[in-house]
Amino acid sequence: MPHTFQMPQKYVDRMIERLGREHVQETFETERTALVVVDMQNYFLDESQLAGAPVGQTIVDNINRIADVVRKIGGIVVWLQNLAPHDTPNSWNTVHERYTPKKGELRIKSMTPGEWPFELWPTLDVQEEDYRVIKRRYSAFVRGSSDIELILTDNRIENILVCGVATNVCCESTARDAMMLNYRTLMVSDGCATFSDEEHANALTSFYTNFGDVQNTDELCARLEASDRQNVKK
| pLDDT single digits (tens) 156-177 | 999 999 999 999 999 999 999 9
Residue 56 near residue 181 (C-beta atoms within 8 A): no
Q: Strand, helix or coil at 161?
A: strand
Query: What mean pLDDT is predicted for residues 175-204?
Result: 98
- Per-domain residue ranges of the chain: 9-19+28-233
Ramachandran sector of residue 103 (left: φ over 0; alpha: ψ -120 to 50; beta: rest)? alpha
Instruction: State the Cα angle at 43 between 191 and 96, rounded to 5°.
Output: 110
Name the nearest CA neighbour of 31 among 70, 66, 63, 79: 70
- pLDDT band at 89; cut points 50, 70, 90: low
pLDDT at site 88: 61
Q: Which of the listed CATH numbers 3.40.50.2300, 3.40.640.10, 3.40.50.850, 3.40.1170.20 matches domain 9-19+28-233?
A: 3.40.50.850
- Torsion angles phi and psi, residue 165, rounded to 5: -135, 155
- H/E segment holding residue 71: helix 60-72
* Model confidence at 180: pLDDT above 70: yes
Of the two residues 92 and 221, the one the predictor is more confident about is 221
| Pairwise CA distance, residues 32 & 159, whole Å | 6
Instruction: Return the minimum-mean-pLDDT range out of 83-87, 164-168, 184-188, 214-218.
Output: 83-87
* Model confidence at 230: pLDDT above 90: no
b/e string for 128-167 if b means 16 or more Cβ within 10 A?
eebbebbbbbbbbbeeebbebeebbeebebebbbbbbbbb
221: number of CA atoms within 13 Å, CB side?
16
Q: Strand, helix or coil at 168?
A: helix
Query: What mean pLDDT is predicted for residues 20-35?
Result: 96
- Percent of the chain past pLDDT 70, that is, above it, reads 97
* Model confidence at 151: pLDDT above 80: yes
- Count, in order, helices (H) and strands (E) of the chain: 10, 6
pLDDT at site 103: 87
Name the nearest CA neighbour of 159 among 20, 21, 27, 66: 27
Q: Is beta strand 159-165 parallel, antiparallel or unpaired with respect to 131-135?
A: unpaired
| Pairwise CA distance, residues 36 & 225, whole Å | 18
Q: Strand, helix or coil at 202?
A: helix
